[in-house]
Amino acid sequence: MRASRLSSAVVALGSALILSACGGRAADSTLLRESFDSGDTFSRTVDGRPGDACEAARRTLLSQGYAIARADDAQVEGNKNFQPREDDHEQLVLRISCAPRGSQTLVFVSAVQDRYALKKSPTSASVGVGALGSVSLPFGSNDDSLVKVASSTVTDADFYRRFFQRLQQYLPPAAGTPSPLPPPSAVPEPAPARTDQG
């Protein structure tokens, strides 16, 4: 009787240890480590309408060599390709969303970096062999293809800070901001006053 109770206790203790180990692994997972803090890495509030902010974002991407895949008054998406090594390929995709916030606009941006590797796959060709029918034989030619090997969201705060600094340069002047005066040489000289004598 005592032995059966002891074995039950050992089984229960073992089960608890296994469950706690699984719970420990789950607690360390990426999803549970993700924290929705109050940082503004991925967003900024800018003056103006959402359409103006998204147009400024489109021009920001164009100025840095990005190909625009989508652009409207609410969203912009652009991508840029890199090849750091002969067999490696990287693509950076930026997605920008513009949402109204009173008289201003809240701009959200997220960058995803995808990595691809060149994979070689041998090709086979079918050869007819009399009564045996066709037989597939491998030949020396290869079909090269890019295979995605990694994908991650860029979290570098300096990267987003530089993006928003460039975006500010393409925003239209705020309402009520006086336009810059033309240079002095462009200001026409006043005509001499005419006096009637006689």
Separation between Cα atoms, residue 131 and residue 31, nearest integer Å: 60
Q: Strand 43-47 to strand 67-71: parallel, antiparallel, or no bridges (unpaired)?
A: unpaired
- 65, two tokens: 């060599």
Q: Which helix H or strand E contains 159, and what residues bound it?
A: helix 157-170
Helix (H, G, I), strand (E, B) or coil at 113: strand
Residue 166 tokens, joined = 């460039």
| Model pLDDT for residues 21-73, shown as the tens digit of each residue | 554 455 456 666 666 776 789 999 999 999 999 999 999 999 999 999 999 99
| Amino acid (one-letter) located at 91 | Q
User: Alpha-carbon distance 52 to 56, whole Å?
Assistant: 6
Q: Judge if pTM exceeds 0.75.
A: no
Reported as a single tens digit per residue, the pLDDT across 126-139 is: 555 555 555 555 55
